[in-house]
Structure 1
Amino acid sequence: MTRGIEEKLTSRHVTPTAMRLLVLDYLEAQPAAVSLSDIERGLAPADRITIYRTLKTFEENGIAHSIEDGTGSPKYALCHENCNAGAHHDLHVHFYCSACKETFCLPKSVIPEVSLPGGFTAREVNLVVKGTCAACQA
């Protein structure tokens, strides 16, 4: 692991514990979003609860975001630098491949602003496009 991983945590005021460093390193190496089970298998014999708490800490501090892709199991991916504690500013479209079952962040595809009627308050926005990824079509 590089010193850069530790600096990413400290710059977000997150103490760089061994598990946090491992999870961040694992997420950085993934080409697609991953589930808690994927991370658990990748870091075996790591404790599932500790991984889950690490992911929640990352979400709370703008390091990672969760994606509800309709599979019933949230996926996790790293945020871009413009996210911060309590506010994710990288609202983008996600793509779920129905062939390989991978979920990809599409950061260049921004979720359009939704105009809500008076009295409505949005807390979360999620847009998932489902289809077949380029690798599966090849």
Structure 2
Amino acid sequence: MNLSKNTLKEFDLRHTGCREDILASFQTYSHALSHGDLENLFGERFDRVTIYRTLKTFVEKGIIHKVLDDEGGTKYALCRSTECSHEEHHHDHVHFKCVSCGNTTCLESVHIPKISLPDGYKLSEINMLMQGTCPVCNA
């Protein structure tokens, strides 16, 4: 059984070709992928609604997490934290977008500092996007 099938089984998800292929894409690429990236990758094999529903399910189950983009879009990256679940995501790392190639990657070793909010505010999510040039483009 391949890694995608094992992951789907581990998260109690029914195996479909679309789910397996999309999950394999996240396991193959080291950078975040957008809905449009997946549409381009799979062409006519899966329609846009099926891809959207698969992404939504993967986020809800804690398999992938949302990565906000500086252009207002949303990208998705594989959850590497064992603490992610359908109840809650735990991502206290920053995301880095290369201004040269446009790829956004999770920098798991760079943590977002603890932020204290004024009374009355309740934190639900922090997103930190850093921009610069990635090691590949710097070479």
TM-score in terms of structure 2 length: 0.92
Residue number in structure 2 paired with 1:18: 17
Matches of 2:10 and 2:87, distance apart in 1: 15
**Which ranges in structure 1 are unaligned for 5 or more consecutive residues?**
none
For residues 26-41 of structure 1, the aligned pairs below 5 Å read 26-41=25-40
- Give the root-mean-square deviation of aligned CA atoms: 1.2
Matches of 2:53 and 2:92, distance apart in 1: 23
Distance 1:117 1:131, change over 3 A: same
Secondary structure of the equivalent of 2:76? strand
Q: Does residue 65 of structure 2 align to residue 65 of structure 1?
A: yes
For residues 70-81 of structure 1, the aligned pairs below 5 Å read 70-80=70-80, 81=82
Identity of paired residues, percent? 40
**Which ranges in structure 2 are unaligned for 5 or more consecutive residues?**
none
Matches of 1:133 and 1:93, distance apart in 2: 14
Q: Post-superposition shift, 1:82?
A: 2.4
Matches of 1:97 and 1:90, distance apart in 2: 20
Q: How many residues align?
A: 137
Matches of 1:87 and 1:5, distance apart in 2: 21
Q: Post-superposition shift, 1:114?
A: 1.0
Secondary structure of the equivalent of 1:38? helix
- Equivalent position amino acid for 1:4 in 2: L
For residues 78-117 of structure 1, the aligned pairs below 5 Å read 78-80=78-80, 81-117=82-118
Q: Post-superposition shift, 1:71?
A: 1.8
